Amino acid sequence: MKFLDLAKVHVRSGGGGGGCVSFRREKFIEYGGPDGGDGGRGGDVWAVAVDGLNTLIDFRYQQHFFAKSGQPGMGKGRTGKDGDDVILRVPAGTEILDEDEETVIADLSDVGQKVLLARGGNGGWGNLQFKSATNQAPRRANSGQPGVERVLWLRLKLIADAGLAGLPNAGKSTFLAATSNARPKIADYPFTTLHPNLGVVAVDGREFVVADIPGLIEGASEGRGLGDRFLGHVERCAVLLQIVDGTSEDVAADYRVIDAELAAYSPVVAGKPRVVALNKADALDPEMLAEVRAALEAAAGQKVLVMSGVSGAGVTEVLRALWAEIAAARAAGEAEEDGPWRP
């Protein structure tokens, strides 16, 4: 299945049915009076976050979603049938934006959340509604309200606990493949990863989700390489794992490039807790490894973990460091939901 994280859709709710002008006509009943029914209500357009989806590819093949209009009222006081609703089924983590691509209408971050995108028009009143003591034979009825039509954007931000960041060929996909059930494409050329990948990682009996995004290069915030459009998929992560290639000529410069691109994209992303890992340690001798690690720690200003995605050395320690940050974030979120205790 192809990956698509941005889609444009056209939605329109149904219009209300018109009211009916009718009079009761039966044998031996004189002056039967008005009996025109009301029109049916137009259908709504909803968006619902469902389980089992992680792409918006369905909206590449269908962009128009029009709800049914209500049926007109009929004689003998019969109300027209309401129009059927239309439901857009989207993955959890989908943001719904207005046509300007900036105004957020809804953020469906959890399965089961739903939002009304376009409300159907009310049905018009039949002439039975206008009957009164002074107007016993009204010959008027209301037309139904028109539906609402709008253009919207769907933007998917994957739901993951940890996100991987690094330059192309830093070993992010190798790490994901070695630690999870994901099978990303791995090759020895830049930008092997062209779209985000998700994997479920287990450590010490606990599981969490890791997102691997295409590699960043200097100037990604200005559109170079694949740009920074995929960084939205790590906005919801509790922690970032920044992987640095230990065989690089200047690991400190590599770290600063990614750090600058994260800051240029969003202060929120740049401010997330970060675990820094020096990868491909199996390709370095102990003396060189110690020198490279010291240079990276000086640039990052924090402890650097050493690992090898190929051999698996040090990977468990990295996973434990990620879990510690994820557990802390979850505990903070639960405390915030519970609120302060009051006697």
By the 8 A CB rule, do 253 and 242 touch? no
311 is in an annotated binding site: no
167 is in an annotated binding site: yes
- Residue 181's pLDDT band (cuts 50, 70, 90): confident
Report the pLDDT value the prediction gives residue 121, as an integer from 0 to 100.
95
Position 86 pLDDT exceeds 90 = yes
290 is in an annotated binding site: no
Q: Is residue 140 packed enough to be buried (19+ CB in 10 Å), middle (13-18) or exposed (0-12)?
A: middle
| Superfamily of the domain at 162-338 | P-loop containing nucleotide triphosphate hydrolases (3.40.50.300)
pLDDT, tens digit, 9 for 90 and up, residues 91-123: 888 999 999 988 999 999 889 999 999 999 999
pLDDT, tens digit, 9 for 90 and up, residues 7-20: 999 999 999 999 99
Helices (H), the chain: 58-61, 172-179, 251-265, 267-270, 286-300, 315-338
What average pLDDT score do residues 239-249 get? 88
Number of continuous H segments (helices) and E segments (strands) in the chain: 6, 14
214 is in an annotated binding site: yes
Report the pLDDT value the prediction gives residue 319, as an integer from 0 to 100.
92
Report the pLDDT value the prediction gives residue 340, as an integer from 0 to 100.
54
64 is in an annotated binding site: no
213 is in an annotated binding site: yes
171 is in an annotated binding site: yes
- Residue 193's pLDDT band (cuts 50, 70, 90): low
Report the pLDDT value the prediction gives residue 1, as an integer from 0 to 100.
47
193 is in an annotated binding site: yes
280 is in an annotated binding site: yes
- Residue 285's pLDDT band (cuts 50, 70, 90): confident
Residue 199 CB: number of other CB atoms within 10 A? 23
50 is in an annotated binding site: no
What average pLDDT score do residues 200-227 get? 75
CA 127 to chain centre: 47
282 is in an annotated binding site: yes
Q: What percent of the chain has pLDDT over 90?
A: 37
29 is in an annotated binding site: no
The secondary structure of residue 18, as a DSSP letter, is P
Report the pLDDT value the prediction gives residue 343, as an integer from 0 to 100.
45
Q: Locate the domains of the chain by residue range.
A: 1-156, 162-338
Report the pLDDT value the prediction gives residue 7, as an integer from 0 to 100.
92
215 is in an annotated binding site: yes
281 is in an annotated binding site: yes
pLDDT, tens digit, 9 for 90 and up, residues 262-283: 888 888 888 889 999 999 888 8
195 is in an annotated binding site: yes
169 is in an annotated binding site: yes
What average pLDDT score do residues 185-196 get? 62
CATH number, domain 1-156: 2.70.210.12
173 is in an annotated binding site: yes
Q: CA nearest 218: which of 186, 187, 262?
A: 262
170 is in an annotated binding site: yes
309 is in an annotated binding site: yes
By the 8 A CB rule, do 233 and 160 touch? yes
What average pLDDT score do residues 156-177 get? 84
127 is in an annotated binding site: no
